[in-house]
Amino acid sequence: MLFASDLIDYEMLVPLAIFGMFAAIAWWVLEHVAVGKSRAVERLDELKTPRKRHPTESALKRSDPVTKMLERATPALAKPLQPKNELELGKLKSKLSYAGFRGEASGSIFLGLKFAGLVAGLIIGGGSLVALKGMNQKSMMWSIGIAGLFFYLPDLVVWYMGKNRKQSIFLALPDALDLMVVCVEAGLGLDQAMRKVAEEMKTAYRILTDEFAICNFQLQMGRPRTEVLHELGARTGVPDLRALAAVLIQADKFGSSVAQALRTQSDSLRTRRRQLAEEKAAKTAVKLIFPLVIFIFPGIFVVLVGPAAITMVREMFPKMTG
């Protein structure tokens, strides 16, 4: 009798240990997040020492405790996953840049989150499956699969964000180029036209205007226009924007008309966007086959054939058997 009670207590010990571990981790995270000053104290400090702030600085200030915690914790976690050479480091920076993460600590935070996801997947998947199904080969395989899913989850998130960012830039580019053509033909230079586009289209196309604002800031700092345009096409990862940068560099180098180059590029982008829309419309009929066959046709079959089948069962089968 004592042996059975001891066995029951031992089986209950594993879920309790897992719950205690996650409670301790949550308590530690909340305690470190709450270390920062409250918003009221920050506002009082701002009133004591008034100074001009960037519009996004107050928003970034609220996330300072979380950002600082990630910056402190992720370098140690990211150390096993650090790139081995400059090529891998460049690929990592490009992938994060396409998604909009261009800070100095973005690479270490990303790799640290991947390593933390691997550990969390092993703990969550392994602990839960071992507690439910015991220690066997099947539970270990499932634990490894869950750990791999958590490990590659940051890659999927970054890829999805980069894809949406590229799509928004591609859709906004023709309208921005039309406005740049109007500005250039009105007598403005290319730098002033980019600044005007960044000011006027900020509400409609925020991502593209942010890229133009970065270009304007770099030009104001004295960087050559060729380098700025080349970096604009490289850091976004959009082929059309890279082609636009190449066209503008060529027009600036050979002294050709910038307005004509912008108009030609805008027309080609609109043609390509229309072709992509027509391609998606042509694929719609093929894509509709699968939901029609799986979901619609069985319901139609039941509605049309169901009454006849019931009548056959009630009328014909008794006569055939009799």
Least confident among 44-53, 90-99, 101-110: 44-53
Least confident among 56-60, 68-72, 96-100, 219-223: 56-60
Q: Could you tell me which residues come within 8 angstroms of residue 191 by beta carbon, excluding any fewer than 6 positions away?
A: 216, 219, 225
3-class SS string, 91-135: HHHHHHHHCCCCCCCHHHHHHHHHHHHHHHHHHHHHHHHHHHHCC
Q: Which residue has the higher pLDDT, 44 or 199?
A: 199
pLDDT of residue 53: 43
Q: Look at the block and give the residue holding tokens 């719609």.
A: 284
Sign of CA dihedral 149, 154, 157, 160: negative
Least confident among 13-27, 79-93, 186-200, 305-319: 13-27
User: Could you give the count of Cα atoms lying within 13 Å of 226 in the half-sphere of its Cβ?
Assistant: 6
Mean pLDDT of the region 139-156: 82
Least confident among 14-23, 38-47, 129-138, 237-246: 38-47
The per-residue pLDDT of the chain, averaged, comes to 75
pLDDT > 50? residue 179: yes
Rounded distance between C-alpha atoms, residue 59 and residue 148, angstroms? 34
pLDDT of residue 209: 85
pLDDT > 60? residue 77: yes
pLDDT of residue 70: 60
Mean pLDDT of the region 54-76: 52
Asked if 209 contacts 201 with a C-beta cutoff of 8 angstroms, the reply is yes
pLDDT > 70? residue 249: yes
Q: Which residue has the higher pLDDT, 188 or 81?
A: 188
pLDDT of residue 89: 78
pLDDT of residue 59: 37
Domains and CATH numbers, the chain: 13-48+63-160 (no CATH), 165-284 (1.20.81)
- Cα 168 to the chain's mean position, in Å? 13
Q: Which residue has the higher pLDDT, 41 or 153?
A: 153
Asked if 241 contacts 169 with a C-beta cutoff of 8 angstroms, the reply is yes
Q: Which residue has the higher pLDDT, 21 or 30?
A: 21
pTM comes to 0.64
Q: Which residue has the higher pLDDT, 54 or 224?
A: 224
Rounded distance between C-alpha atoms, residue 210 and residue 318, angstroms? 78
* pLDDT tier at 43, thresholds 50, 70, 90: low
pLDDT > 50? residue 3: no
pLDDT of residue 183: 86
* pLDDT tier at 5, thresholds 50, 70, 90: very low
* pLDDT tier at 247, thresholds 50, 70, 90: confident
Q: Tokens representing 106? A: 């973005």
pLDDT > 50? residue 290: yes
pLDDT of residue 54: 40
